[in-house]
């Protein structure tokens, strides 16, 4: 196994060091020795056990009334609808007030949609079967295609917030899709960095990075023929991962049927590992980054998903991005290599299934 290498080609230091993120052109401070410090801070509440398959008070369950007053249909798999409280609205006329180097604002219009992954209130992606997860992927893909055909949407952000630790107010399995007129800041930076790499090397950044990770192996969590899950060398969150396609593909709609099937497999395997790590419904924020829908050329763009889980030491101790992270640069305690090793070691059978098999008759 090759040692982890930094941007100069030398082995990664064992003590405090910085790692460069070529996708965002930023650094992260890594301080492995800090894991030994005592914790007397906030303790997270446990995920509510024994959720019902249908909650009559849940505004996302089939047949129930939503917070905005509409009634959900009696849906049987995925269900997509316009967000009742959207962050983006259709465009309205009006100028932005003209250029100003210090106080500049511009309109941002768009549409927000909600994707219910399953009619079952008590499931998550980690506990859904392959056909169910494949339907979620097809729903994501159909929405990206639909937004892209509109002509007034420049970028489509598919994401999921799971768990109260990541601000999710409803445990029903769901995610969101926001289509905005302008390309948001973080995807725009990734597009710019991938373009710059492609212009310099004639190859895509994530393709070259993936080759390095597969050669080293120590940050690879799991893989199949079409997808690889790695803890990025530059990860900020403790058990952050990135899901990268083996083939150079730039968007969800560009995936073949086999690649979509492979994606269902890899998402199930990753999310089960997350749940098994601390024997809990593991919280995270997940998002897809792919080619914008503004009709521009984006050479070197490769589709990928990022998972940002907050848990650090256990099911009730999370990582906070405060202080140094907010005033200087991101910092992490657990190395990417250690995080990947711990995730690799997890079973791909969900811990709740394992528990049910060990219960006495």
Residues identified as active-site = 174
Please name the residues in contact with 322: beta carbons below 8 A apart, sequence gap of 6 or more.
Answer: none
Q: How many CB atoms lie within 10 A of CB 249?
A: 19
Cα 176 to Cα 199: distance, rounded to the nearest angstrom: 33
SS3 195: helix
Going by C-alpha positions, the residue among 307, 300, 336, 306 that lies closest to residue 207 is 300
Beta strand extents in the chain (DSSP E only): 17-21, 26-30, 79-82, 110-116, 155-162, 174-180, 220-223, 227-230, 241-245, 284-289, 304-308, 311-314, 317-318, 331-332
Q: In what order do the strands lie in the sheet with 17-21?
A: 17-21, 26-30, 331-332
- DSSP-based three-state secondary structure for 166: helix
H-run or E-run covering 211: helix 205-216
Rounded Cα–Cα distance for residues 98 and 105 (Å): 9
> Which two structure tokens, joined as six digits, stand for 141?
């893909």
**Cα-only R_g, the chain:** 21
CB 270 within 8 A of CB 307: yes
Beta bridge partners, 82, equal 113
How far apart are alpha carbons 333 and 337 in whole angstroms? Answer: 12
Q: Give the residue among 60, 45, 39, 43 at the shortest CA–CA distance from 281.
A: 45
């Amino acid at each position: 196994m090759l040692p982890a290498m930094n941007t100069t080609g030398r082995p990664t230091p064992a003590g405090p060091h910085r790692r460069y993120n070529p996708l965002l052109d930023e650094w992260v401070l890594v301080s492995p020795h800090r894991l030994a410090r005592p914790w007397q801070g906030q303790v997270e509440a446990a995920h509510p056990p024994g959720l019902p398959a249908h909650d009559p008070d849940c505004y996302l369950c089939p047949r129930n009334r939503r917070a905005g007053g509409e009634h959900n249909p009696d849906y049987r798999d995925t269900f997509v609808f316009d967000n009742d409280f959207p962050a983006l609205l259709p465009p309205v006329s009006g100028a932005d007030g003209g250029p100003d180097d210090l106080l500049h604002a511009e309109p941002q219009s768009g549409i927000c949609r909600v994707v219910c992954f399953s009619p079952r209130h008590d499931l998550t992606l980690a506990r859904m079967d392959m056909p169910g997860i494949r339907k979620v992927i097809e729903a994501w893909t159909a929405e990206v295609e639909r937004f892209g055909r509109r002509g007034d949407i420049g970028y489509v952000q598919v994401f999921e917030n799971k768990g109260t630790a990541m601000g999710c107010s409803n445990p029903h399995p769901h995610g969101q899709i926001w289509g905005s007129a302008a390309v948001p800041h973080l995807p725009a930076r990734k597009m710019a960095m991938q373009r710059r790499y492609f212009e310099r090397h004639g190859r895509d950044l994530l393709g070259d990075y993936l080759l390095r990770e597969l050669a080293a192996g120590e940050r690879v969590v799991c893989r199949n023929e079409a997808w690889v899950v790695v803890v990025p060398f530059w990860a900020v969150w403790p058990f952050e991962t990135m899901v990268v396609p083996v083939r150079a593909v730039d968007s969800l709609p560009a995936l073949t049927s086999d690649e979509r099937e492979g994606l269902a497999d890899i998402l199930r395997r990753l999310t089960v590992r997350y749940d098994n790590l601390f024997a809990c419904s593991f919280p995270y924020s997940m998002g897809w980054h792919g080619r914008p829908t503004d009709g521009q050329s984006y050479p070197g763009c490769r589709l990928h998903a990022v998972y940002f889980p907050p848990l650090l030491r256990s099911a009730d101790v999370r990582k906070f991005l405060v202080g140094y992270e907010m005033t200087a640069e991101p910092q992490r305690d657990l190395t990417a290599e250690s995080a990947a090793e711990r995730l690799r070691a997890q079973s791909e059978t969900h811990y709740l299934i394992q528990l049910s098999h060990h219960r006495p008759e």
